[in-house]
Amino acid sequence: MGCNFSVFPTIISASGIFISFWIYQRWKALNYLQSYGIVCPSKAHFIYGNLHQLRWSKTKSIQEKQMEWLANYGKVVGYYMGLKPRIMLADLDILKEVLIKDINIFTNRPDVPCGMPTLVSLRDERWKEVRHVLTPTFSLLKLKAMFPTINECTDVFISILKEASCPSNELEIYEPFQSLTLDLISRCALALQLNCQKNPQDEILLSVRKFFRLDLSRIVVMLVCFPGLRSCFRILFRFAPSNKLIAFVLNHIRLVVAKRRHSKEAPALIDALHLLLEASEGKHSEIESGKPTPGLLNDDEIAWNACVFLLAGYETTSTALSYVTYCLSLYPDIQEKVFAEIKEKIGTDLSALSYDDVSKLQYLELVILEALRLFPPVPLFVSRECKKTTTIKGVTIPVDCAIDIPVWSIHRDPELWPDPLTFEPLRHSQEEKTKRHPLAFLPFGAGPRNCIGARFAMLEMKCTIANLIRNFAIKPSEKKILFRCRRW
């Protein structure tokens, strides 16, 4: 039999049409924002969009690239993550509409690729229901009840530091802070005692620490660039190292959940896990709300949300504490003012602090806030997704577009913060705050979808730093931080 070569032109013609159509569709997608009048950086890649410029630059960090784009293109900059349109928004008046006033349009964060049923990634009514369940976890009443546990954990932290540092040793402080914050959040949110401060080889600590050291997974990048293939890539995601580490933590939490259900006894401290379990049974804490739970939580939602509490409470606060300590080491005059405030308002007795003691330390709070301004621990996390095309103050935001808030750039904007690179805690006094736009400071986000644990994190940081300054004078060294035990 002879070959019928007459079909080849048809095949070539069809493939040419397909390629041309594919090129046209991608060109159209990469000009979507421009059609709404949004200025975008040039040279978007046909596959990656602007992802390669923003995240894979060899000369500039993501934050530096964001600042460059804002300087070049203004306060509203469009770009593409793959074909996904995104707008970097540093106009605070528009931002107020997005984060607060138009929350019904900007309810959701951009879709998390692996579809985790957590407070971070849940959408619309389901997010509202779970948020309602968990909000009482960090109420003022609960924070006061948690304070003895916070004190106990920081006491262990100080004793470990004394053994390692006195009289004049240098220390890398980040890892001890990680152990402290994991110990704290596991005990306060999950009533789980890990003993990870005294045992640096604790399995959970090592797994969580390894998780945050992983680079951005290439599978996640492909999910961003090819959203149509999401189902296929989700299968591959199961084999990613980050997914294996999350699975390990989740399995441990599921064991804790099973033990808690079997015991049928409420913990002494009503923690996040207890509220989640009540919600799974159609109950809700009557202490603060007096209302029935609006929707039952399934076992997946319980485990995933407990896992997110653990991961977020560990990483963000340990990073923030490290930066506060770093700033105090660079500015000894400010450190001495904090020490003077402690002596004046608490006294020289080194016994355990009380909740009221920590509440008196107003200057210390200003110091922490200024460190959070210069070094926000999660500068790339505040984002929203637009449900329908809407125009705000002359800027049209199209449906399905993601909004990214460049927190790092906003915190260092000289129009908002005079001499922004200078460490000046008094910027955050009540008098100075009234002179600024309310959204000029966003370390915990803003609006109904802000960080649920912000007050807990501030209390934890104040207690830790107060105890640190009571016991040590902190000085910088070439590579680490020098701790000298104080002599009262």
Over the chain, what is the mean pLDDT? 83
Please report, rounded to a whole number, the percentage of residues in the chain having pLDDT higher than 70: 80
pLDDT tens string 383-407 = 999 999 999 999 999 999 999 999 9
Task: Quote the domain boundaries for residue 241.
Answer: 34-485
Alpha helices in 191-298 (DSSP H): 203-213, 218-225, 230-237, 241-263, 272-280
Q: Token pair 């509440």 is at which residue? A: 359
- Answer whether 304's CB lies under 8 Å from 122's CB: no
What percentage of the chain has pLDDT greater than the value 90? 42
104-113, 152-161, 174-183, 340-349: the lowest-pLDDT one:
104-113
Q: Is residue 442 one of the residues assigned to a domain?
A: yes
**Measured distance CA(482)–CA(462) in Å, rounded:** 20
Task: Give the Cα separation of 364 and 370 in Å (integer).
Answer: 10
Mean pLDDT value across residues 475-487: 71
Cα distances from 311 to residues 93, 184, 205, 474, in angstroms, run 32, 12, 10, 28
Check residues 97 and 167 and name the one with the higher pLDDT. Answer: 97
Choice between 168 and 93, residue whose per-residue pLDDT is larger: 93
pLDDT of residue 4: 54
Q: How many domains does the chain have?
A: 1
Say if CB 409 and CB 67 are below 8 A apart.
Answer: yes
* Domain presence at residue 281: yes
Exposed, middle or buried by CB within 10 Å (0-12, 13-18, 19+), for 188? buried
Residue 42: inside a domain = yes
Q: How far is CA 449 from CA 88, 127, 231, 252, 264, in A?
A: 18, 9, 28, 28, 32
Residue 444 lies in a domain: yes
Amino acid 123: pLDDT: 87
- Is 28 a member of any domain? no
Average pLDDT, integer, range 433-451: 93
Question: Which pLDDT band, with edges at 50, 70 and 90, does 63 fall under?
Answer: very high
Residue 1 clears pLDDT 70, i.e. is over it: no
Question: 15 lies in a domain?
Answer: no
Most confident of 116-120, 127-131, 139-143, 360-364: 360-364
Check whether 153 is labelled as a binding-site residue. no
70 within domain boundaries:
yes
pLDDT of residue 156: 93
* C-alpha to C-alpha distance for 254 and 363, rounded to whole angstroms: 42
CATH of the domain at 165: 1.10.630.10
Residue 206 has pLDDT above 90, yes or no: no
Residue 119 has pLDDT above 70, yes or no: yes
289: confidence class by pLDDT, cuts 50, 70, 90: very low
Q: Judge whether residue 235 has pLDDT over 90.
A: no
pLDDT class for 318, splitting at 50, 70, 90?
very high
Angle between helices 174-190 and 203-213 (to 10 degrees): 120
Q: What is the pLDDT of residues 26-53, one digit of tens each?
A: 667 788 899 999 999 988 888 888 888 8
Whether 18 is covered by a domain: the verdict is: no
Lowest mean pLDDT across 78-87, 202-211, 263-272, 309-318 = 263-272
Residues 410-425, mean pLDDT to the nearest whole number: 96
What is the rounded average pLDDT of the residues 447-475? 92
> Which pLDDT score is estimated for 209?
83
